[in-house]
Amino acid sequence: MASTTEENYLKALFNLSNPAGEVGISELAQHLQVSMPSANSMVKTLHKSGLLIYEKYKPVTLTQKGKKEAALIIRKHRLTEMFLVNKMGFGWEEVHEIAEQVEHIHAPKFFERMDEMMGHPTVDPHGSPIPDKQGRIQEMHFKSLAEVQPGQEVVLVALRDSSIEFLEYLNSRQLSLGTELRLISKEAFDESIVVSYLDSEKETLSQKVCEKLLVKIYESNKSSH
């Protein structure tokens, strides 16, 4: 069975994979805050276990087996986050650190029970999809708020950044998943955006923020159903 360290490498590889599925060693090392030789050495170990493809001086690629293992750890992480928020009353900014530890617990029934108690949720508290028991992931292709045109109405459905800092920023603006936003105007100069939400408060959001907010175009007043 994979050690906690190996599991953390798998997760990192999964998350860092570019569309071609490749990850460079230095990228990996940086993400995990270890030296390149450490990453290099672990990559060789994972290669021997058939979890990734490794050739000298080339970026590495997870195998099917590696991807599945990674996805199942991410499943445990996201189920835990959702459980902490929905069943234990934590805020969405508090759960990552705890889930980072709980995800390494080997106890299928424990996570099964969480899943059941929540009625098989499909996304975590930040809107990221929860892989299924086979490790399959439902990729979502949401637009970011930065791509939306003035006048449109949208619902906040997911985040591209789940750092505590960003989540606390959103908390301070009373922005949460499900919040309906109307895009009032866009400033051509710096691409900042003015939105209204929650009983017509008005708020300016920087482009940096907008890019991290994933939304669904809201079609309440169109022929959508």
Partner DNA sequence: GTATTTTGTTAGATTATTCTAACAAAGGAA
Partner DNA sequence: TTCCTTTGTTAGAATAATCTAACAAAATAC
Question: Which of its own copies, DNA, none has residue 152 at its interface (CB below 5 to 8 Å by kind)?
Answer: none
- Shortest distance, CB of residue 82 to its own copies, whole angstroms? 14
159 binds, among its own copies, DNA, none (CB under 5 to 8 A by kind): none
Using CA atoms in the order 54, 58, 60, 63, what is the torsion angle rounded to 10 degrees?
-60
Structural contact between residues 46 and 52, judged by C-beta atoms closer than 8 angstroms: yes
59 binds, among DNA, its own copies, none (CB under 5 to 8 A by kind): DNA
Longest dimension (CA), the chain: 58
Are 21 and 58 in contact by the 8 Å Cβ rule? The answer is no
The yes or no reply on residue 18 touching DNA (CB under 7 A) is no
Shortest gap between Cβ of 213 and its own copies (angstroms)? Answer: 27
User: Mask of contacts with DNA, 27-56, x by CB under 7 A?
Assistant: x----xxxxxxx-xxxx-x--------x-x
Residue 133 identity (one-letter amino acid): K
The item of its own copies, DNA, none sharing an interface with residue 49, based on CB under 5 to 8 Å by kind, is none
**CB-based contact 180:197 (threshold 8 Å):** yes
Stretch that binds its own copies, among 15-23, 99-107, 149-157, 202-210 (CB under 8 A): 99-107
Q: What are the two backbone dihedrals, phi and then psi, of residue 151, each rounded to the nearest 5 degrees? A: 100, -25
Residue 163: what residue type? S
Whole-angstrom CA distances from 195 to 134, 149, 177, 192 are 40, 11, 15, 10
83 vs 197, beta carbon nearer its own copies: 83
Which residue from 46, 102, 175, 195 is in contact with its own copies, where contact means CB under 8 A? Answer: 102
Residue that has been written with the tokens 């939304």 in this structure: 215
Nearer to its own copies, 119 or 151 (CB): 119
* Residues at the site binding DNA, with contacts judged by CB under 7 A: 3-6, 24-27, 32-38, 40-43, 45, 54, 56-59
